[in-house]
């Protein structure tokens, strides 16, 4: 772990940005024994990007998935440095000279937008005013008794006396967590207002021009 932190440091990142980075040499061993050139390596917890950086240097294709915004400041910049031929980690061992490319895409938000609207409410009246929009535009859990919640529960003292934080938690629970982002199969639906450019790019990504 110490050597992994030093690798990040040498790339110009803060050692403490990640609590448990892996050294490139360890990931190299794993990729060596489990894949061959051009295979696709999937890292669905991308973090600081060690796995994808090593996969790139070893001539593998890769897909990395991350939920946090620090991807912009750390991981994307790290991958850019890899392309520019940085000489840290396993670079010398694999005679890395730089090159290659990657594409970066963000998922189109659906219920994630509703979550932000809830976050931004400053009091119960604002939450209450948001209710109809949540019902009409977003995807609520199938078992939410919406009318009962809107007409009765939200007006009861038991709910009114909860802290704003607890009231928001109850609102978050209404959102279906499987619908936080727009599904490809539904991206043409006008309610999502996905641009023609994004639809085209998505189809190209999946090699499907329909
Ligand atoms: C320890 S890092 C992984 C290190 C990484 N595999 C590497 O090669 O450097 C774990 C990462 O997983 C991310 N993560 C956790 N749950 C996630 C989820 N459901 N979707 C996407 N990313 C997630 C965290 O935000 C964190 O950045």
**Would 88 be classed as within a structural domain?**
no
135 and 193, same domain (yes or no): yes
**Number of C-alpha atoms within 13 angstroms, CB side, residue 109?**
8
CA-54 nearest atom, ligand 1: 8
Residues 53 and 146 in one domain: no
DSSP letter (8 states) at residue 84 = T
Q: What is the pTM of this model?
A: 0.78
Model pLDDT, residue 170:
96
199 Cβ contact partners less than 8 Å away, ≥ 6 residues apart: 187, 188
> In terms of domains, do 112 and 164 share one?
yes
Both tokens of 76, joined, read 């994307």
Phi, psi of 206 (to 5 degrees): -90, 10
Q: How far is the CA of 46 from the centre of ligand 1 (A)?
A: 5
Rounded-to-integer distance, Cα 169 and Cα 93, Å = 50
pLDDT the model gives residue 206: 85
Answer with the one of 27, 51, 83 that is the final residue of a domain. 83
Q: Which residues line ligand 1 (CB under 6 A)?
A: 20-22, 43, 45-51, 65-68
Domain boundary among 32, 49, 83: 83
Q: Confirm whether 16 is domain-assigned.
A: yes
CA distances 145 to 67, 69, 141, 142, 199, Å, are 30, 34, 9, 8, 34
Say yes or no: 159 and 112 in one domain.
yes
Domain membership of residue 97 (yes or no) is no
**Tally of domains in the chain:** 2
User: Is residue 161 a part of any domain in this protein?
Assistant: yes
Q: What is the pLDDT of residue 19?
A: 63
In-domain check, residue 99: no
Q: Give distance in angstroms: CA of 108 to centre of ligand 1.
A: 19
Expressed in angstroms and rounded, the spacing between residue 45 Cα and the centre of ligand 1 is: 3
Could you tell me the two tokens for 66? Answer: 């991350």
- pLDDT means per 10 residues, the chain with 210 residues, are 72 68 90 97 95 98 93 94 96 96 94 96 97 95 94 96 97 95 93 93 79
Provide CB contacts within 8 A for 166, sequence distance 6+: none
One domain for residues 117 and 68: no
Q: Could you tell me the distance, in angstroms and rounded to a whole number, from the CA of residue 40 to the centre of ligand 1?
A: 18
What is the atom index within ligand 1 of the atom nearest the CA of 43?
Answer: 6
CA–centroid distance, 48 to ligand 1, in Å, is 8
Q: What's the confidence (pLDDT) of residue 117? A: 97
pLDDT in the model for residue 6? 76
Domain that holds residue 58: 2-83
* Ligand 1: nearest atom to the Cα of 65: 21
Please state, in angstroms and rounded to a whole number, the distance separating the CA atoms of residues 160 and 190: 36
CATH, residue 53: 3.40.50.150
Based on the fold, state whether residues 57 and 114 are members of the same structural domain: no
pLDDT at 106: 92
* 89: in domain: no
Q: How far is CA 87 from CA 6, 17, 49, 73, 191, in A?
A: 13, 21, 16, 20, 47
How many other C-beta atoms can be found within 10 angstroms of the C-beta atom of residue 184? 16
Of 133, 99, 93, 102, which is closest to residue 115 (Cα–Cα)? Answer: 133
> Both 15 and 63 in a single domain?
yes
Q: Are residues 158 and 200 in the same domain?
A: yes
What pLDDT, on a 0 to 100 scale, did the predictor assign at position 208? Answer: 61
- Residues 18 and 31: their CA atoms lie apart, in Å, by 22
Among residues 94, 88, 99, 123, the alpha carbon closest in space to that of 12 is found at 88
Of the three residues 67, 83, 99, the one that is the final residue of a domain is: 83
Q: Whose CA is nearest to atom 3 of ligand 1?
A: 47
Name the residue of 22, 45, 178 whose CB sits within 8 Å of the most ligand 1 atoms, as the mutation to test its pocket: 45
Which protein residue has the closest C-alpha to ligand 1 atom 6? 46
């Amino acid at each position: 772990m110490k050597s992994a932190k030093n690798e990040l440091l040498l790339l110009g990142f803060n050692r403490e940005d990640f609590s448990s980075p892996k050294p490139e040499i360890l990931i190299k061993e794993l990729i060596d024994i489990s894949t061959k050139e051009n295979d696709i390596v999937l890292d669905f917890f991308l973090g600081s990007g060690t796995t994808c950086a090593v996969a790139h240097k070893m001539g593998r294709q890769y897909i990395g998935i991350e939920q946090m915004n620090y991807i912009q400041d750390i991981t994307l910049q790290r991958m850019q440095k890899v392309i520019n031929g940085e000489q840290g980690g396993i670079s010398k061992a694999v005679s890395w000279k730089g090159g290659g490319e990657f594409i970066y895409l963000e998922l189109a938000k659906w219920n994630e937008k509703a979550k932000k609207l809830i976050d931004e409410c400053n009091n119960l009246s604002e939450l209450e005013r948001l209710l109809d929009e949540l019902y009409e535009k977003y995807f609520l859990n199938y078992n939410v008794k919406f009318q009962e919640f809107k007409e009765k529960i939200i007006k009861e003292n038991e709910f009114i006396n909860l802290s704003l934080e607890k009231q928001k938690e109850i609102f978050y629970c209404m959102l279906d967590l499987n619908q936080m982002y727009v599904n490809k199969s539904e991206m043409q639906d006008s309610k999502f207002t996905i641009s023609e450019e994004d639809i085209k790019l998505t189809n190209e990504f999946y090699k499907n021009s329909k």
